[in-house]
């Protein structure tokens, strides 16, 4: 995942992204679903909750543009840019610094009232503001995320080996999935929510109110057999505006075949 190393200077210095920048406004946007698709079809394959609906990049970016417009209406001319996981912005670091949460042992930002099922986003603006500060770490002695990870991707507290993560294997990896992790995916074919599902702080998660994150009816009805027989046409229809398109049809079929094969 070498892309994380690219433009490292921009990840540290927002003025390289927005000339004259003075503030980073960090935001979180809930995507916790009212109904988990796993509950609908317990024996079916699993898709990470963030990918149930429309691609979050576009949904959240649209919200940020409205927010920036309202800032400009309120205070006058403000130069700024909106970012949603699509540019070299050190999102978790800024969110932590702003007091939105702390970095958990699974490396995700955790919030005491919302858990971790939310997207991070930023507005970088040339406006001086009053700033919030960081909060303390509330993970304590809990190791639920570490204990539950079937591929041992959380090597030690706060250290995640991305190359062992189910999300990496099912989304980022372009080659064949190694045989060494056979039988460890627990039916995940796109992403993985295990370390979030077991986190005690996610017991406080509340369903989102974003219509664009609601999964289409066809997705809710998919059985394991349906997944095994999925065609490229169905894939394109089902995931027309979805983050799942990132795997492309060939990658998605590879994931399904990896889980379905008996070898």
Domain membership of residue 234 (yes or no) is: yes
Give the pLDDT of residue 261. Answer: 82
Q: How many domains does the chain have?
A: 2
Give the pLDDT of residue 193. Answer: 98
Q: Looking at the structure, do residues 11 and 113 belong to the same domain, yes or no?
A: yes
Sign of CA pseudo-dihedral 63, 36, 168, 94: positive
**Backbone dihedral region of 76: left (phi > 0), alpha (psi from -120 to 50 degrees) or beta?**
left
Q: Which entry of 39, 62, 85, 132 is annotated as an active-site residue?
A: 85
Helix (H, G, I), strand (E, B) or coil at 42: coil
Q: Looking at the structure, do residues 15 and 116 belong to the same domain, yes or no?
A: yes
**How far is it, in rounded angstroms, from Cα 66 to Cα 109?**
25
Closest by Cα among 208, 62, 182 to 121:
62
Question: In which residue are the tokens 């250290």 written?
Answer: 159
Q: Looking at the structure, do residues 81 and 153 belong to the same domain, yes or no?
A: no
What is the chain's pLDDT, residue by residue, as a tens digit (263 residues)? 444 455 555 556 788 888 999 999 999 999 999 999 988 888 899 999 999 999 999 999 999 999 999 999 999 999 999 999 866 788 999 999 999 999 999 999 999 999 999 999 999 999 999 999 999 999 999 999 999 999 999 999 999 999 999 999 999 999 999 999 999 999 999 999 999 999 999 999 999 999 999 999 999 999 999 999 999 999 999 999 999 999 999 999 999 999 988 66
Q: How far is CA 104 from CA 109, 180, 199, in A?
A: 6, 27, 9
**Backbone dihedral region of 85: left (phi > 0), alpha (psi from -120 to 50 degrees) or beta?**
left
Give the pLDDT of residue 1. Answer: 47
- Supply the pTM of this predicted model: 0.92
Question: In which residue are the tokens 């949460």 written?
Answer: 101
**How far is it, in rounded angstroms, from Cα 167 to Cα 181?**
13
> For this structure, is 85 an active site residue?
yes
Domain membership of residue 45 (yes or no) is: no
Domain membership of residue 43 (yes or no) is: no
Helix (H, G, I), strand (E, B) or coil at 117: coil
């Amino acid at each position: 995942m070498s892309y994380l190393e690219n433009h490292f200077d921009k990840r540290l210095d927002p003025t390289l992204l927005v000339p004259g920048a003075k503030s980073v406004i960090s935001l979180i946007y809930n995507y916790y679903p009212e109904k988990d698709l796993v509950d609908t079809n317990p024996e079916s394959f699993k898709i990470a909750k963030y990918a149930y609906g429309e691609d979050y990049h576009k949904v959240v970016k649209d919200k940020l543009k409205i927010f920036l417009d309202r800032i400009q209406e309120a205070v006058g001319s403000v130069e700024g840019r909106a970012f949603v996981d699509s540019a070299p912005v050190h999102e978790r670091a800024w969110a932590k610094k702003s007091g939105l949460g702390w970095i958990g042992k699974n490396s995700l930002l955790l919030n005491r009232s919302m858990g971790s099922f939310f997207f991070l986003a930023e507005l970088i603006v040339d406006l001086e503001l009053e700033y919030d500060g960081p909060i303390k770490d509330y993970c304590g002695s809990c190791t639920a995320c570490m204990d539950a990870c079937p591929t041992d991707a959380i090597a030690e507290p706060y250290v995640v080996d991305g190359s062992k993560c189910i999300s990496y294997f099912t989304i980022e990896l372009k080659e064949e999935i190694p045989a060494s992790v056979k039988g460890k995916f627990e039916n995940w074919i796109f992403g993985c929510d295990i370390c979030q599902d077991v986190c005690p702080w996610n017991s406080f998660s509340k369903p989102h109110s974003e219509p664009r994150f609601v999964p289409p009816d066809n997705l809710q009805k998919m059985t394991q057999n349906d997944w095994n027989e999925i065609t490229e046409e169905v894939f394109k229809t089902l995931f027309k505006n979805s983050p799942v398109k990132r795997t492309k049809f060939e990658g998605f079929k590879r994931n399904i075949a990896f889980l379905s094969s008996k070898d």
